[in-house]
Structure 1
Amino acid sequence: MKFSTFFTGVLFSFASLSTTYAAKSFSASNLYYAAGLKEAQQTTLLQGLQSAGVKVLRVWLDGQSETTKGTPIDSFNSLQGDSPTSWDDTVLNRLDGLMVKAHGYGIKLLISIHSYNALEGKKDFYGKWYGTGNFYTNTDAIAQFKDRIAHVLAHVNPSNGKTWAQSPEYIFAFEAQNEAMHPQGNPTALASWQCTMAQSIKSALKNSQDILVSTGGGAYLSNSLLDPYFSCAALDVLAIHAYGTDDFGTAKLKPYVDRAKSSGKKLIMQEWGACYTDASNNNCNGGSPISASTRDANIKKWAAQIDAAGIPWFYWQILPNPDPHHGWDYEVGINDVNWGSLKEAGLAASKAEAAFDFGKWLL
């Protein structure tokens, strides 16, 4: 009888510990032109993100100018211009300050080292010299992009006197490219490129586990998670980009969660959003505005479905200003229409049980 009581107590204690220390999920956001934000805009954004429980902000290194998504920004050039040696570190220098400020709000950065958008738009020499096909297979392009990775991770932040590779207090993860080979005309080449670049990032990190290495998503759920990604040792995180509402379904996401766990990988829903109009959610370009209450319900429903699958999510995008409702309209402005619902969803994510423990990499 005494043994039985003691044994039951031990089981209860272990069960309590398991419940207490269960991994929690989190919410995050994207703002590809964050390096252009003025000081007051940074404050508005970071205060808003913190109030919504956001833990990570994903940023890009491609140049931006003038007013973007209704945000009047300080223009900056792309990291590289018309040749492999035409470096412009303005974007890195701007992000030095932003990551320090974000830290004060409990937020880290996820840094996308390049974007398929820049490649497709021929905004730098990669697009002009190699195009969207040869970029992933040309040996010179691969070597030059490895140099880009090394340059970014060797950049020194004057605030801590350390390279970005040595700054896990500010940086959550690096990814090689946003939506690499978006149309995926050659998935075998893409998978090889992703793993090669992940290995290059790991090398620049000196194989430290303090900053994660991620993919940059695809066009939808299944092509964000190509089979070879699960066996690439250098990839820690596999990122999902999805806007079709079927891809938000808990039952559809769960098999990928199970596969990731069995492969030693983590998943994030790195891009998703709720369309402002009645256009198809995966083609939110045109259409008529839906009611605020309908969109509120969509945001909360889809976020909850992703939460239920155990996957942290990054909304596309939270703006420091009212949403101007341009094309491809998923954005939500802080303190603007639908902000209350997105904020509620973000806070709910922080209480949801996660399939993956990211605690080590969050503030």
Structure 2
Amino acid sequence: MHRPLHNCCFAATYLAALILTLFTANAPRTVAFSFGGANSYYLYTFRTADQIQVLDAMQAAGFRTLRISIAAQGENQTGSNNYGVPDVEHPVGMYDDRILTMIDDLITRAFQRGIKLIITLHDRYSLGCWGNNAYVDKYNIPTTNACGYGGVEDNDLNAFYNNANAAADMDRRFTHIISHRHPGFSNRPWSAIPEAILGFDIQNEGQAHQRNGNIPNPNWICERAKKLKPQLSSGMLVLTGAGADVWDSVLSQHFACSSIDVVCVHSYMADDWSSKLPPVIQAAKQDGKRIIVEGFGATGWGSKAAGLQKQIDVFQNLGVPWMVWQVVKPNNYDNYEVFTDDTDSWSVLSSAARAAPGLGGAFVWPEFTGGSTKHPPPPKAAGKRPPPPKVASKRPPPPKVTSKPPPPTNNKCAKCNIPLCRGGCKCDNNCDCRPGLGGATCDKCNLPQDQGGCVVVLPLGIRLVWVVLQLNLGISAKQGSF
């Protein structure tokens, strides 16, 4: 049961964390700076010890932000041994606050470590694309099991994003979430805890993966922001939640919307950043917005660390905050999950996160440093305003990898801890088991059953009978096991 934290120990921790939140090393109050952070979209469902281990690692690495998403979560995702939890509403308009209470605990623990949360209020991928939430049922949204892999034509969201009733339902969802009161912060609503929550994403990768790159309603994010922004206290940000790529993250409607503070950018095309990000930064400064690279990552045995380094170098040189996808336990070389057991990748992330505040930045972040929100002026140019970022009129074919893993029901690693002789899998590229554990974890064929293996240990009496048979009948026991 969650209880208010009001004893002297928490008071001391609260004061220390508040000081850390208000002042960033090497980042004077009026000087732009940058920072590193991470996605860990279902960390609130982790068992307490695992959650604390992840947060402690993030704190030690110098991460300043943590992004989570409010959506139904299955248990044991990516081998993490997490709890399952339903979405905050089912059906639409009927609220179940269990997920919010779990997030309360995460908010407290992150704050104690000087880490601010970005809370994503809804996940586009719950709309019939990998996941089906209450909105799918109410608004008869067509679904697909191949989202991002050629099945986008089956998940047409044009009607949903242009339905005024659906929009009103979503606004009520947002209001319910941000009105949730945190017992550890004087029972204040989430909308009034700027020391612990940096801001709220409208939707994770909203309107992504639609037919021919169609954006059903380019104003949808801004319309939601206009309803959300007046409900937030000073110092709390409204963030877009990005698209699935650079081009659909930086819609002109986002830059023109007065209720949007931060335009978030996602992409998993590592080679695109150096050419596509500079004009986005220029457009943001011109319109008084800020940019966070809120989703990027790398995969692969032997190449993950280098892939992360290559992208982060671009972000650091441009002074743009970044948030890697994603920090969870355990690490998975074959996908985007990363943790401390991948020492090379973790070294890249931690070194960069610790260095970021001292490298200067493209934007100021008074939510961390205090001071004005005024950004450094853009370079002076004669004549007309610089053109907006160049993006294709149609979305390019989606990459074979996406920013959201398949649901746990498709996770072949469910048999990772089952011995090979029982149909399990090896601890290699095709399994989520942590490297280094090897046969000690997965191949238990030489262990007795009471230790998780396959060897049948017969009762003593039967073994004696078997020995007698061997002696009298000469039966070979080469194929048997005691």
TM-score (norm 2): 0.64
Aligned to 2:242: 217
Aligned to 1:140: 165
After superposition, the Cα gap between the structure-2 partners of 1:184 and 1:230, relative to the gap in structure 1 and judged at 3 Å, is: farther
Q: Quick one: which amino acid aligns to residue 269 of structure 1?
A: V
Aligned to 1:332: 338
Aligned to 1:26: 35
Aligned-pair CA distance for 1:219: 1.4
Q: Take 2:93 and 2:297, find their aligned partners in 1: how far apart are those partners?
A: 37
> Following superposition of structure 1 onto structure 2, how do residues 1-363 of structure 1 map, counting pairs within 5 Å?
21-81=30-90, 83-121=91-129, 123-130=132-139, 131=141, 132-160=157-185, 161-184=187-210, 189-205=216-232, 208-249=233-274, 251-276=275-300, 289=301, 291=302, 294-319=303-328, 321-325=329-333, 329-337=335-343, 338-361=345-368
Q: Quick one: which amino acid aligns to residue 38 of structure 2?
A: S
Identity of aligned residues (%): 31
Q: Structure 2: 5+ residue runs without aligned partners?
A: 1-25, 142-156, 371-482
Q: Tell me the secondary structure at the aligned position of residue 92 of structure 2.
A: coil
Aligned-pair CA distance for 1:124: 1.6
Identify which of structures 1 and 2 has the higher relative contact order when contacts are C-alpha pairs closer than 8 Å and 6+ apart: 1
- Tell me how large the CA RMSD over aligned residues is: 2.1
Q: Take 1:362 and 1:335, find their aligned partners in 2: how far apart are those partners?
A: 32
Aligned-pair CA distance for 1:361: 4.1
Aligned to 1:8: none
TM-score (norm 1): 0.84
After superposition, the Cα gap between the structure-2 partners of 1:63 and 1:312, relative to the gap in structure 1 and judged at 3 Å, is: same
> Higher Cα Rg: structure 1 or 2?
2
Q: Quick one: which amino acid aligns to residue 148 of structure 1?
A: R
Q: Tell me the secondary structure at the aligned position of residue 260 of structure 1.
A: helix
Q: Which has the higher strand share?
A: 1
Q: Tell me the secondary structure at the aligned position of residue 351 of structure 1.
A: helix
Aligned to 2:401: none
8 Å Cα contact 2:45-2:85 kept in structure 1: yes
Q: Tell me the secondary structure at the aligned position of residue 265 of structure 2.
A: strand
Q: Tell me the secondary structure at the aligned position of residue 85 of structure 1.
A: coil
8 Å Cα contact 1:172-1:362 kept in structure 2: no
Note the alpha carbon deviations across 1:54-86, whole angstroms, 9 max, x for none.
Answer: 1110001101122112210122111112x2232
8 Å Cα contact 1:56-1:108 kept in structure 2: yes
Aligned to 2:436: none
Q: Quick one: which amino acid aligns to residue 193 of structure 2?
A: S
Note the alpha carbon deviations across 1:295-325, whole angstroms, 9 max, x for none.
Answer: 3222222101111122100000011x23244
Q: Take 1:301 and 1:353, find their aligned partners in 2: how far apart are those partners?
A: 19
Note the alpha carbon deviations across 1:103-148, whole angstroms, 9 max, x for none.
Answer: 1110011000010111124522212233233221111101111100
Q: Take 2:356 and 2:350, find their aligned partners in 1: how far apart are those partners?
A: 10
8 Å Cα contact 1:184-1:190 kept in structure 2: no
How many positions carry a matched residue from both structures? 325
After superposition, the Cα gap between the structure-2 partners of 1:49 and 1:296, relative to the gap in structure 1 and judged at 3 Å, is: same
Q: Structure 1: 5+ residue runs without aligned partners?
A: 1-16, 277-288
